[in-house]
Amino acid sequence: MRINKFLAEQGVASRRGSDQLIFEGRVKINGRLAVAGDNVEPSDTVELDGKILSHKVKYEYYLLNKPKGYVCTVSDEKDRKTVMQLLPEGAGRVYPVGRLDYETEGLLILTNDGDLAYRLTAPQNEIPKTYLVKIEGTIALSELNRLRSGVEIEKGVVTKKCKINIVETDKNFTKLHVVLTEGKNREIRKMFEVIGKHITFLKRIKIGDLTLSGLDRGKVRKLTPEEIYYLQNL
């Protein structure tokens, strides 16, 4: 097993974060400094900051209904509130799977299962994620079809085809369901900016068929074994 994957499964950090720990010289394998790309065997002794890490991992899985005003990081250099502050006392060293931006609400998974985190976020797996979007005013069919076909949100960056359907509309606002299979930074907000529409509310409501199941805003619960199995086999 690659050292960064081993560290991720320990709940130390994401794989990228684990690579940074290795780069900083904080990780040792059998007494020597680890380097990126090292493999770890069950018989190896792995240390982080001088503390020996166990090869036995207890995975934890949480489902959070993220409110706006929180960032999806373990810590924040701007001292903003993080989603970690919403976890129950006694929760293990888990980390967010993917990100919802500061103003976006909704379904967020936190775990120390690095394989599951990778499965849900790797672009090639095309895991569908559904969002409720509210915009000011109305939207034309031609604009919907343009978004469905993919638009250039940055120079050379074009979104994949996606599903978009109107769920409610009047002259003042329109609510839509948007289903993406990728996760570019602030992708939905940038998509609607391209057609001149301002988003007033954005919430992720589903990953695959997993929903918030009545979970109140700001609340968290453990995933059930059935939900874990479902996500592992998406």
From the centroid of its chain, how far is CA 205? 13
Instruction: Give the Å distances, CA to CA, from 84 to 68, 146, 211.
Output: 14, 37, 20
What is the rounded CA–CA span in Å between residue 132 and residue 188? Answer: 10
Whether 12 contacts 48, CB under 8 Å: yes
CB 178 within 8 A of CB 203: no
Distance between CA atoms of 128 and 138, rounded to whole angstroms? 25
Catalytic residue (one of 76, 101, 113, 216)? 101
**Catalytic annotation on 38?**
no
Output DSSP code: residue 109.
E
Give the angle subtended at the CA of 98 by the CAs of 94 and 102, to the nearest 5°. 100
Beta bridge partners of 51: 48
Cα–Cα distances (Å) from 92 to 61, 63, 121, 226, in that order, read: 10, 14, 21, 21
Measured CA to CA, the distance from residue 133 to residue 46 in angstroms comes to 45
β-strand pairing of 105-111 with 199-207: parallel
Positions marked catalytic:
101
